[in-house]
Structure 1
Amino acid sequence: MTIAKNRPFGQRYAFVVVGVIFFCLLIAAGLRSSMSVMMVPLEDAFGWRRDVISLAAAVGIFIYGLAGPFAAALMERIGLRRTLLAALLIMSVSTALSLLMTEPWQLIATWGVMSGVGSGAVATVLGATIVNRWFKTNRGLMMGLMSASAATGLLVFLPLLAMLAESGGWKPVVIAVSVATAALLPLVWLLVPERPSSIGLTRYGAEGPEPEATAVPGNFLTVTLTTLRDAAKTRVFWYLFATFFICGFTTNGLVGTHLIAFCGDMGIAEVQAAGLLAVMGVFDLIGTTLSGWLTDRFDPRKLLGVYYAVRGLSLIYLPYSGFSITALTIFAVFYGLDWIATVPPTLRLSNEAFGDRSGPLVFGWIVAGHQVGAATAAFFGGFMREYQGNYELAFQIAGMTAVAAAALSMLIAPTAPDRRQGLQPA
């Protein structure tokens, strides 16, 4: 099917595309966070240990991150629409198949491997690709908005999914995620062109015609790995990779996967704990969008330093908070404000160092570091809970790593403007 050339809004059609992709990222975030509300119901239904369920979550998060850079290369090779439609289909089918599971390996296969591959293509790297293709200006703000979709996913999905899990167990959660994912397929098919030139437009903010983009030649696997090899020769790549590893370790890996269970250990009901994550989602929606605005105007290294420091202190504070309503609200506000506020400045640094064409692909590898960190924390949290009987030390260790990331961010050297067009050593 060829998308019609007649589109309303002119250059502002870019915001229609952003709206559809926002919902795709929102649903993908809901899928990845669903394991946090299914952990206790799965434990009750099958008698599986919490570290076994955490392993499935960790595998899903790891593959989610690893798939990102390959998905970015595949988008350049066969097209963004085809890649996105295939990813959404995989997400819907894999979660639906888990309704038939009876053994732990089947949880790992469906919610770990298959959904990890699908959701990995509907992740931060998708947002980066859309922003670079559709916007000449206001990129930081748009990336902040796209990144905030994960927070909105928490806001919209977790309280609802927690209520479904509390009343009906894990199966209604699976059905809700599968149906919501499938509902996105016609929206993407009808409303998301390959790029602005596909419908006779230019990027938002562009003042005139731009060179026609061409598909990247060669095998997409080779392109992906070659880009990694070249980026790995630079210091800036490893600084960004390390800080984003810690970002994943201190967000969706630990808090996103284990906070509800941690609250349950402290006598807080699952729906209340999910509501706490929803509050974080509200403040992250504000914080990440604001972070995008700030990234267009201020030194991204200093922004990263502030974000990681605040996050680290919040995590160190939590085990000593007493888990009162007031204390948890304070934590939700300060932690929520920079849950993923790190994304816009990290993408800007990646684009500055590696250029508009290679930047999103390199950023995909940096996001892979984020998900490796998240996978490590997802398993680490479950292991510490089984080993010690509580989550306290796991959260304290995560807080200290975030403070270390704040210091590491300041070591990233600023990139000269004339190096923004291509991949070059730092």
Structure 2
Amino acid sequence: MHPAGWAAAVTFLALVGAAGFRAVPGVLMDPLHQEFGWSVSTISAAVAVNMALYGLTSPFAAALMERFGIRKVVTAALLVVSAGSGLTVFMTASWQLILCWGVLVGLGTGSMALALVATVTGRWFVKRRGLVSGVLTAGGAAGQLVFLPLIAWVATTYGWRPAALGVAFAALAVAPFVVWLLRDSPADVGALPYGGTEADVVVPVRVGAGRIAIRGLVEAARARPFWYLAAGMMICGATTMGLIQPHFIPAAHDHGMPVTMAASLLAVVGLCDIAGTIASGWLTDRIDPRLLVFASHQIGAALMALAAGVVRDQLHSYDAAWYAGGALCVLAGGLSLLVTRGRARISVPGH
């Protein structure tokens, strides 16, 4: 097998492991509320911090991968995710939840989000780059599909602490595979990118990678289509990761549905997500590395995650949040129609 296949396989495994803890908020929200008496708004604040950092970290994680290498950044990110999820079992105050669940896990998973997919596919693949990008992006959905029912069962049977520890060990178990099998570029193993030639070799930007990320933000902010895309992605994040992912299971539980059944239904969403991301990757000629649009997705997710918690506390129902999410989706569809295709593509140095 071409070395690029191993790089893609390990990257997929890392993304699945990182997604495991991202599937936890909806399952553990009710147990945390019952044990500590924290309001849904308080727990949602930790989810909001997590999702905001998950998105805002991504563009700068790409710069870190350029500067220090993919393997070092991914290994460190997995260790941070493992530490954040493992330390939650010792928490006694809500600020500790925000620190562990919000800050640590948000930074760790954000370092292995779209930035990792774009960097690995950009360096290792020329042929079938779009398909591989779709498969790797599906890693997050695969993590939801695998972990959600399992975490729900463990939390229901043994309590939320064993569930959190299980995710911590899962993320930790992936780290040795990353150290052993993942390399920064094909040149490290004496190979060329899959389907490419020497002219396709991407040389990492070791100096000034952070400035490139900031310059990309400034340049993108000057373009009106970027703000249309960013607003649409923010709404997408608000209605999916901000509303559905953390609040669907508690809402279903409010209506008498068992947690394990609700988690299984949410896992079906992950199954459809896998099909959609792989199909979209197959239809893509090459990667469009607009990482900052992804950050907008997560800012929307953060805002809606917090807002839905406040709605639940104040109105004792999620109904208003669901209606607002539907209205925002209609708005996002309208914004997408305002985006026009330019003659030139935006490129990121080094990709």
TM-score grouping bracket, smaller chain normalisation? over 0.9
Aligned to 1:189: 179
Displacement after TM superposition at 1:368 (Å): 1.2
SS at structure 2 position matched to 1:15: helix
SS at structure 2 position matched to 1:413: coil
Aligned to 1:407: 334
Q: Does 1:14 align with 2:1?
A: no
- Describe the shift of the 1:40–1:420 C-alpha distance in structure 2 as closer, same or farther (beyond 3 A): closer
Distance in 2 (CA, whole Å) between partners of 1:138 and 1:108 is: 40
Displacement after TM superposition at 1:184 (Å): 0.9
The amino acid that maps onto 1:154 is Q
SS at structure 2 position matched to 1:251: helix
2:122–2:202 CA contact under 8 A, matched in 1: no
Displacement after TM superposition at 1:211 (Å): 4.8
Aligned to 1:260: 249
Distance in 2 (CA, whole Å) between partners of 1:148 and 1:44 is: 33
Gaps of 5+ in 2: none
132-141 or 74-83: bigger deviation = 132-141
The amino acid that maps onto 2:52 is F
Distance in 2 (CA, whole Å) between partners of 1:409 and 1:379 is: 25
Aligned to 1:104: 94
Aligned to 1:341: none
Match of 2:302 among 361, 364, 375: 375
Match of 1:392 among 319, 335, 339: 319
Percentage of matched positions with identical amino acids: 41
Q: Does 1:269 align with 2:196?
A: no
- Describe the shift of the 1:221–1:206 C-alpha distance in structure 2 as closer, same or farther (beyond 3 A): closer
Match of 2:75 among 52, 64, 85: 85
- Describe the shift of the 1:149–1:210 C-alpha distance in structure 2 as closer, same or farther (beyond 3 A): closer
Displacement after TM superposition at 1:247 (Å): 1.4
Aligned to 1:343: none
1:87–1:118 CA contact under 8 A, matched in 2: yes
Displacement after TM superposition at 1:420 (Å): 5.2
> For residues 2-401 of structure 1, what are the structure 2 equivalents within 5 Å?
9=1, 12-211=2-201, 213-218=203-208, 220-296=209-285, 348=287, 351=288, 359=289, 363-401=290-328
1:152–1:285 CA contact under 8 A, matched in 2: yes
The amino acid that maps onto 1:251 is T
Displacement after TM superposition at 1:159 (Å): 0.3
234-243 or 262-271: bigger deviation = 234-243
Displacement after TM superposition at 1:222 (Å): 3.3
Gaps of 5+ in 1: 1-8, 297-346, 352-358
Residues 87-129 of structure 1 deviation map (CA, whole Å, 9 limit, x = unaligned): 1111111211111110111001100111111111011221121
The amino acid that maps onto 1:188 is V
1:197–1:212 CA contact under 8 A, matched in 2: no
CA RMSD after TM alignment: 1.7
233-242 or 72-81: bigger deviation = 233-242
SS at structure 1 position matched to 2:157: helix
Distance in 2 (CA, whole Å) between partners of 1:214 and 1:381 is: 41
- Describe the shift of the 1:89–1:422 C-alpha distance in structure 2 as closer, same or farther (beyond 3 A): closer
Distance in 1 (CA, whole Å) between partners of 2:198 and 2:70 is: 24
1:145–1:289 CA contact under 8 A, matched in 2: yes
Displacement after TM superposition at 1:268 (Å): 0.6
SS at structure 2 position matched to 1:14: helix
2:308–2:321 CA contact under 8 A, matched in 1: yes
Equivalent pairs, count: 349
SS at structure 2 position matched to 1:252: helix
Distance in 2 (CA, whole Å) between partners of 1:27 and 1:160 is: 13
The amino acid that maps onto 2:323 is Q
Distance in 2 (CA, whole Å) between partners of 1:210 and 1:162 is: 45
TM-score by length of 2: 0.94
- Describe the shift of the 1:72–1:214 C-alpha distance in structure 2 as closer, same or farther (beyond 3 A): closer
Greater RCO structure (CA 8 Å; 6+ sep) = 2
- Describe the shift of the 1:420–1:62 C-alpha distance in structure 2 as closer, same or farther (beyond 3 A): closer
Residues 354-397 of structure 1 deviation map (CA, whole Å, 9 limit, x = unaligned): xxxxx3xxx33221111101111111111111111111121111
1:58–1:378 CA contact under 8 A, matched in 2: yes
Displacement after TM superposition at 1:421 (Å): 4.8
Distance in 2 (CA, whole Å) between partners of 1:407 and 1:140 is: 27
